[in-house]
Amino acid sequence: WVFLWEKGYQETDSVVSSVTIKVKGVTLTNTSALGARIWDVADYVIPPQEENTVFVMTNVILTPNQRQGHCPELPDDKTECKVKNNCVPGYVSTHSSGIQTGECVPYNTTIKTCEVFAWCPVEDDYHIPKPAFLQEAENFTVLVKNNIWYPKFNFSKRNILPTINSTYLKNCIYDSQTDPFCPIFRLGKIVEAAGQNFQEMAVEGGVMALQINWDCNLDRAASHCVPKYSFRRLDNKDSAHTVSPGYNFRFAKYYKDSNGTESRTLVKAYGIRFDIIVFGKAGKFDVIPTMINIGSGLALFGVATVLCDIVVLYCMKKKYYYREKKYKYVEDYE
């Protein structure tokens, strides 16, 4: 077990890794609010570079042309009002869009809410777009470049193997059966391989793991040290716990007109964050662990003999019979 299965004759080392990621894909949307619009990598990959991670926006709530001023707050049980006395000047709650002015103003023809000093109009995120705004994101691709190093053995390699040429790299898409070493992954396939539905996940977002395993036996040729890819969803999808699901965040794009008036477009981005997790270990023959495990094995054989004697001579029903056979009693002739 120790020598053959656990390779007790080898010294081992843990992997040191670096990852770079590049996403590609273009999609078209056509809505009454935005009209026809092309979305490319600069629009949906936020931020452009992260460490071992890439976020791809799949759904969005846009609030364009916001300016600082006075406007009605979104209606809820704390902001709806009937008269001015219902609003407290300077009041700010955790979910406020701004600071209350103390005025009660019409939100629409039937509802009044407390007025706030904020970026106006305030964001309305009560209704998430379904289906997802960027449905075609499942056809986007991500190129994962991974370099690994085992410092004990001064062994390094990358997941773009020496057998891969530029022509193959331009046309291949990872498939566990036909292209298991292609480093280009279709986003929809990643989610599908983890047992999830991409279009469902795209609505509110989530977190996926792309795992790269580098378990290498360096007693064999370096060509046998290859990556193995696997996929899983990291955020919990539990139908019994639906509070604050998925993954989203906000950011804004700011502008100034010719008069110096500042405005912004507020973006609430929903999407899938892909975490690249690299792990593994390498082993190579070394005299020291070999001798240690041989010595440990011999010591265990000695302990086994003692344990067997204890069981046979003191625990079994025929212990007296076995004791007579094991020991020979002699008389003292003196």
- The encoded tokens of residue 232 equal 């899983």
Quick check: helix, strand or coil at residue 277?
Answer: strand
Distance of CA 54 to the CA centre of its chain: 9
Task: List the domain boundaries for the chain.
Answer: 11-73+122-284, 287-326
**Among 159, 148, 155, 283, which Cα is nearest to 217's?**
283
Q: How far apart are CA 61 and CA 57, in angstroms?
A: 11
| Predicted local confidence at residue 243, as pLDDT | 77
Question: Cα dist. 306→293, 299, 309, 318 in Å?
Answer: 20, 11, 5, 18
Name the DSSP class of 73: P
Q: How far apart are CA 141 and CA 189, in angstroms?
A: 10
CA pseudo-torsion sign 37, 59, 40, 140: negative
Question: Cα dist. 89→30, 76, 95, 170 in Å?
Answer: 42, 18, 16, 61
Q: Report DSSP letters for 208-264, one per residue.
A: EEEEEE--EETTS-GGG---EEEEEE-S---TT--SS-S-EEEEEEEEE-TT--EEE
Q: Which residue has the tokens 């009605």?
A: 72
Residues of the chain with pLDDT under 70: 1-6, 8-9, 238-241, 293, 300, 329-330, 332-334
Phi, psi (degrees; rounded to nearest 5) at 56: -115, 120
Strand (E) or helix (H) holding 42: helix 41-44
Which string of b and e fits 92-125 if b means at least 16 CB within 10 Å? Answer: eeeebbbebbeebbebeeeebbbbbebbbbbbee
Binding-site annotation, residues for ATP? 22-24, 141, 248-250, 268
Architecture of domain 11-73+122-284: Sandwich (2.60)
For residues 16 and 149, is the Cβ–Cβ distance under 8 A?
yes
Q: The pTM is what?
A: 0.82
Quick check: helix, strand or coil at residue 99?
Answer: strand
**What pairs with residue 213 in β-bridges?**
228, 279
| Predicted local confidence at residue 306, as pLDDT | 78
| Predicted local confidence at residue 4, as pLDDT | 63
Binding-site annotation, residues? 22-24, 141, 248-250, 268
